[in-house]
A and B are shown apart, each in its own frame.
Chain A
Amino acid sequence: GENVEQHPSTLSVQEGDSAVIKCTYSDSASNYFPWYKQELGKRPQLIIDIRSNVGEKKDQRIAVTLNKTAKHFSLHITETQPEDSAVYFCAASRDFGNEKLTFGTGTRLTIIP
């Protein structure tokens, strides 16, 4: 089955700086890669996703890059703000919108004011 590894497990950045979280996956058939944000005691919420036919996708301060050859994808957050503090999870699955996601272990991001 699919295995998703995520690094780092914790990340602290100064407000206004950029944050990068990296994930690798094992199943070459995976072609859908969403990122979820989970605030303390809250539900995971989709923040951005990418399909394998695209190398990069951007939504305001958030971007995701995908390298299918190396089987890794990354989340980039620019101009970080205190409200970006949360746990971020990457995930992978074989089909877009397929809910059988394999999640990474999460990155706790702390934005230092």
Chain B
Amino acid sequence: ETGVTQSPTHLIKTRGQQVTLRCSSQSGHNTVSWYQQALGQGPQFIFQYYREEENGRGNFPPRFSGLQFPNYSSELNVNALELDDSALYLCASSLGQGSVFAGELFFGEGSRLTVL
């Protein structure tokens, strides 16, 4: 059984640029959630994808967007990067069962984004 993997692990961008972060969910999982963890803070929910559809969104602007693919892997895209976007971006997968989600949330190691 493979765990949740994210890429890249570290990256540096400048203000105004765009970034794409990738996540491969754990084998058998069909739900992917993305979280932003600023330094010294708890993770904040960005959005969730279930079977390729967005299933809930946190308090993040539209320049944060995502995709989920048929193999349940996912991408997080951030446009027009701002300095405050510097954070650890965590992807987490789980097994959703219809409208009743169940099962432990498994996190990846994260992608650390620095915006200069």
How many residues on the A side are at the interface (Cβ–Cβ under 8 A)?
23
| Measured CA separation A4–B107 after assembly (Å) | 20
How many residues on the B side are at the interface (Cβ–Cβ under 8 A)?
28
Asked if B94 and A44 sit within 8 Å, CB to CB, the answer is no
Residues of A with C-beta under 8 A to B92: 99
| Measured CA separation A46–B106 after assembly (Å) | 8
Give the shortest distance, in Å, between B35 (CB) and chain A (any CB): 8
Asked if A99 and B33 sit within 8 Å, CB to CB, the answer is yes
Asked if B56 and A100 sit within 8 Å, CB to CB, the answer is yes
Asked if A89 and B109 sit within 8 Å, CB to CB, the answer is no
Residues of A with C-beta under 8 A to B107: 43-45
| Measured CA separation A45–B106 after assembly (Å) | 7
Asked if A99 and B94 sit within 8 Å, CB to CB, the answer is yes
- Which of A11-19, A67-75, A101-109 binds B? A101-109
Asked if A98 and B101 sit within 8 Å, CB to CB, the answer is yes
B66 at the interface (CB under 8 A from A): no
Asked if A101 and B41 sit within 8 Å, CB to CB, the answer is no
As a 0/1 sequence over residues 54 to 86 of chain B, the CB contacts with chain A under 8 angstroms (1 = contact) are 001011000000000000000000000000000
As a 0/1 sequence over residues 27 to 53 of chain B, the CB contacts with chain A under 8 angstroms (1 = contact) are 000010101000011111100100000
| Measured CA separation A6–B44 after assembly (Å) | 15
12 A-B pairs with C-beta separation under 8 A:
A1-B59, A6-B42, A43-B109, A44-B107, A89-B43, A97-B100, A99-B45, A101-B43, A103-B42, A103-B43, A104-B42, A105-B41
Interface residues of B (CB under 8 A from A): 4, 31, 33, 35, 40-45, 48, 56, 58-59, 90, 92, 94, 96, 100-105, 107-110
